[in-house]
Amino acid sequence: DQQVKQNSPSLSVQEGRISILNCDYTNSMFDYFLWYKKYPAEGPTFLISISSIKDKNEDGRFTVFLNKSAKHLSLHIVPSQPGDSAVYFCAATTSGTYKYIFGTGTRLKVLA
Amino acid sequence: GAGVSQSPSNKVTEKGKDVELRCDPISGHTALYWYRQRLGQGLEFLIYFQGNSAPDKSGLPSDRFSAERTGESVSTLTIQRTQQEDSAVYLCASSRGQGPGTQYFGPGTRLTVL
């Protein structure tokens, strides 16, 4: 049972435009969500997180939106840059626990 | 400062052999995780260590898999009698304590079982 789903395996966006990566979850106990970026032959690196008490968190070009009623979160990258080309994973967890459930990732390609 | 390191970066082995993968977490990080990523899949939780507490081994796929950690330092993941389906990238991550929080990942070990 996939508790965290990233239904788009890949996404191509023109440089300078907005990239929107989506993530859905099924477990209503999840209350903390993270996005990681992964380049080839490297481990994932933390990008941005959001607690369920918020519906938006912004860090520079990266914004994460959380819609608890829809059990959906999205990562917006504006403006997209070629260096953003990577695989993006969303992850979810429940406060007080240590288990992180990861999605299968979305490969973003930003075209110059 | 030094990040999480893993060795070897690549390992090719024959079916039936044992392999040992190593992880050096960030100094001071009490929590350590092992994950597996098969081709085209997400990160699959294998095992969690927190300080001197008993590890959570619930993610280990079979009794051929085992892991050890010495205090709050190095961890080794051992796979006995490897099978072709064990081929994957094995990722180690560490964090300061129990979640939620940021995990810092190593570069992974790519294991290929022929």
Q: Report which of residues A83 and A2 the model is more confident about.
A: A83
Q: Report which of residues A85 and A1 the model is more confident about.
A: A85
Alpha-carbon distances of B52 from A61, B30, B43, B49, rounded to whole Å:
40, 9, 25, 8
Mean pLDDT over A32-38 rounds to 95
Q: Is B56 on the interface with A (CB under 8 A)?
A: yes
The tens digit of pLDDT for each residue in B83-104 reads: 999 999 999 999 886 655 678 9
Stretch 2-41 of chain A: residues touching chain B, C-beta under 8 Å: 4, 6, 9, 31-32, 34, 36, 41
The tens digit of pLDDT for each residue in A40-96 reads: 888 999 999 999 999 999 999 999 999 999 999 999 999 999 999 999 999 999 987
Name the token pair of A42: 């490297």
Judging contacts by C-beta atoms under 8 Å, the chain B residues touching residue A51 are 100
Q: Which range has the worst mean pLDDT, A1-5, A99-103, B34-38? A: A1-5
Contact: A43, B56; criterion CB under 8 Å: no
Contact: B103, A100; criterion CB under 8 Å: yes
Question: Residue B86 has what DSSP assignment?
Answer: G
Residue of B nearest to A91 (CA): B43
Judging contacts by C-beta atoms under 8 Å, the chain B residues touching residue A4 are 42
Check whether A1 has a pLDDT greater than 70: no
Q: Is B45 on the interface with A (CB under 8 A)?
A: yes
Q: Residue B82's beta-bridge partner residues? A: none
Contact: B106, A89; criterion CB under 8 Å: no
Check whether B1 has a pLDDT greater than 80: no
CB pairs A-B closer than 8 Å: 66
Judging contacts by C-beta atoms under 8 Å, the chain B residues touching residue A9 are 40
Question: Residue B34 has what DSSP assignment?
Answer: E
The tens digit of pLDDT for each residue in B50-87 reads: 888 889 999 999 999 999 998 788 999 999 999 999 99
pLDDT for res B81: 97
Interface test with A, best of B10, B34, B43 (most A CBs within 10 A): B43
pLDDT for res A4: 95
pLDDT for res A25: 97
State the CB neighbour count (10 A cutoff) for residue B109: 21
Of B60, B1, B21, B91, whose CA–CA distance to A91 is shortest?
Answer: B91
